[in-house]
Amino acid sequence: MRRTSDTGTTIDALRAEDLRRQLMELAQERFREQLVDTFEIEHLVEIATNYSLLLSDVYEPGKIERILKRNDPASRWIDHLNLPDEEPHSSTILHLRNLPDQVKTIADKCLYDVGVFQKDEYRGVSLTDLGMQAYRMASEILEVLAEDGRLRDYFRGNTLGKMPIEDEVVFLRQCAQRFTVHADLLHQLGLLKSSPSGPRPTAVVSPEIAPKAPLAGKASSTAVRTEPSSETALESPPAVPLEKKSDDRCVPDRSLVPPDGQATTPQPEQISGFERLLVFSALPLDSLRSRLKEVVIDQEEALDTLCDEFTLYATGTQNPRRPSSYLFVGPTGVGKNYLVESLVHQLEEHWGNEVPLLLLEGPNFTYPSDINELRGATRGFIRSDEEGVLTQFHHRSSCAPFAVLIVDEVEKAHPQLCRFFLSLMDRGTVTDNRGQTLRFSNTLVVFTSNLGYSRMQQESAPIGYESLRGARRYPRREIERELKKTLSPEFLNRLTTVHFAPLSRTSIAHIFDLEFAKITSAYESIHDLKLVVTARAKDALIERGYSSDYGARYLASTLQRHCNIEVSKKLKRDESNPKRQVQPVLEYLREVRSGQRLYRPTEAARLVNTQARVRVPYHTLRIDFRRGKFRYESEGHRR
């Protein structure tokens, strides 16, 4: 069935369900990168089936002028209503509630005319600009009404059955931002067709469709006054239920909408859960596994265990409420913390977003009262008005798809610390000093320990660097026995224990190569200088950087001392003509900081490196070790 306007065009009357299906298909086809959510689809169905918009004339010049006047605050729209000082009556509330609706009706009419009829202007006014600004103005008016103390209870309690005010504001802004997307989808429906039956038939509403398609549980009205009064608010259709979203990445899947069709205000953790499924489903896990094995040496078991866990994240089949909890146990300096830090770095590099990380040192929690540092001091005690460390971390982690919490050397903390984390590992929640429930279901929790290994290291301490020729063996059964002596069964049973292997001679050499490469890369990129190390110097550096007690923990600092600091000192001694013209570059950076100049990272790096580069006559520096001392010898001559 089709309805015809007096211009000789017809509008096909479709059932609401058919419209939903067509709009979903069009949205997935045309806006694959700008996902259209379910509530946007319902909004467009309402627009397409609201034939009162076809017949009405809501373009009142006075209101159009006020809408397009961007410096006109929303508060002035309600000034003429003379809101009483005392608690407003229900009639006043109804009157106020219709005020943003009258502005929204103008926005809906603009969307209808632009999308269905492809009209660009009305008396020289761009209907696209008018529609976008009207949606924004409607949202601003709602915000002003909600901020009024006398109306706050009404809008928060929502006694008339409408959706929460915060959600309406968000969706109206979304409608403004995505006006052209919505107009394109309406146009693609092809509702307008040329009439074969001649001119001037009458437009009527199809009996197959209600004039306006209400959502579940919502009453609606199609009454629109064609001659609005400037003194009172218009009666207009109620706002469409909507879903509050943090951005436009909304999945057009009705299974994510509550069964009754009502919009809800999501908790940050809910959005994080959806985000986590998406980002891990798109994560190349085999590539991540390979890359981690390149930088974390000889810890195959730990790497495989973590990456296998991430496959559950990618399929969404892990426990959504319980965080993944691990106990990393192994000798000191074999890469327990380094593995987690490398994982965070790789994920940030792949996703382009921060992965919140919190590191807690076990030795800092040796007394029961130290737990207050985590949850915040109890009321009545000093600093009870301050947030605990976990509350501060929760602000960041709850808004991220994935976060990491490390408790290092947990065996050196008071047993109360382990008891504190039981509920977090079991249910994903803890309670802070203000009674707030902190949820960490999206957090990877890692405890580290060298229980058992430290005692065996001391009992069989090797002599000298030659002990690295073969990897030391630690009976796992004895390690497990040591763990059970110190850590409670309730704590261990909630954890997946991962054993880290001791480092072999080959492992130490590989770690050396990785750390030395970081230093040489900096000298090559900034100073165009190549660093090389002889075999004698490499052996001497490894011998100084590795010990049976601390593993490879101090290898990086040893290289920093002999391959970075000493090299820098030599370069500055050998530099010819050290004067630099740094002032112009400093001015450039200050102008960038103040917003006076565009910032291009590659250009800034080029300018800074050009001035900071040392001027030495050679292009290679060789590090050798002879007669008990490190030697730094230059090679080659620059042209």
Read off the pLDDT of residues 144-200 as tens digits, 9 standing for 90 and up. 877 766 666 666 555 444 567 777 888 898 899 999 999 999 999 888 754 343 333
- pLDDT at position 464: 45
pLDDT value at 633 more than 90: yes
> Is residue 216 very low, low, confident or very high in pLDDT (cuts 50, 70, 90)?
very low
pLDDT value at 255 more than 70: no
pLDDT value at 582 more than 60: yes
Read off the pLDDT of residues 275-331 as tens digits, 9 standing for 90 and up. 999 999 999 999 999 999 999 998 999 999 999 999 999 999 988 888 999 999 998
- pLDDT at position 366: 92
CB 136 within 8 A of CB 173: yes
Mean pLDDT of 489-512: 90
Q: In DSSP terms, which residues pair with 361 in a beta bridge?
A: 408
Range with the poorest average pLDDT among 1-15, 60-74, 481-495: 1-15
- pLDDT at position 155: 61
Highest-confidence segment of 29-38, 224-233, 393-402, 460-469: 393-402
Read off the pLDDT of residues 414-449 as tens digits, 9 standing for 90 and up. 999 999 999 999 999 998 888 889 999 999 999 999
**Helix orientation angle between 127-147 and 90-115, rounded to the nearest 10 degrees:** 160
- pLDDT at position 94: 58
Highest-confidence segment of 12-21, 181-190, 497-506: 181-190
Query: Given the DSSP bridges, would you call strands 9-12 and 629-635 parallel, antiparallel or unpaired?
Result: unpaired
pLDDT value at 459 more than 70: no
In single-letter form, the type of residue at position 4 comes to T
- pLDDT at position 473: 62
Q: In DSSP terms, which residues pair with 9 in a beta bridge?
A: 194
Read off the pLDDT of residues 541-564 as tens digits, 9 standing for 90 and up. 999 988 777 778 889 899 999 999
Question: Rounded to 5 degrees, what angle do the CA atoms 294, 343, 560 make?
Answer: 65
- pLDDT at position 156: 58
Does the reported pTM lie above 0.75?
no
Name 470's Cβ contacts closer than 8 Å, sequence gap at least 6: 504, 505
pLDDT value at 635 more than 80: yes
- pLDDT at position 465: 45
Question: Rounded to 5 degrees, what angle do the CA atoms 164, 69, 76 make?
Answer: 55
pLDDT value at 472 more than 70: no
- pLDDT at position 611: 87
- Give the CA-trace dihedral at 392, 395, 396, 400, to 10 degrees: 150
SS3 6: coil
Mean pLDDT of 197-224: 33
- pLDDT at position 348: 94
- Sign of torsion over alpha carbons 235, 237, 241, 242: negative
In the chain, what are the domains?
2-245 (no CATH), 273-503 (3.40.50.300), 508-575+614-635 (1.10.8.60)
**Cα–Cα distance list, 151 to 75, 165, 365, 577, 627 (Å):** 14, 11, 48, 73, 85
Tokens encoding 286: 């085999």
- pLDDT at position 499: 93
Q: Please count the residues of the chain.
A: 639
Tokens encoding 326: 């691990």
- pLDDT at position 446: 97
| Phi, then psi, of 148 in degrees rounded to 5 | -70, 125
Name 247's Cβ contacts closer than 8 Å, sequence gap at least 6: none
Pick left, alpha or beta for residue 233 (phi over 0 → left; psi -120 to 50 → alpha; otherwise beta): beta
Tokens encoding 48: 């397409």
| Phi, then psi, of 429 in degrees rounded to 5 | -135, 155
Q: What percent of the chain has pLDDT over 70?
A: 74
Mean pLDDT of 62-88: 65
CB 190 within 8 A of CB 179: no
Mean pLDDT of 51-68: 82
- pLDDT at position 56: 76
* Of 256 and 522, more confident: 522
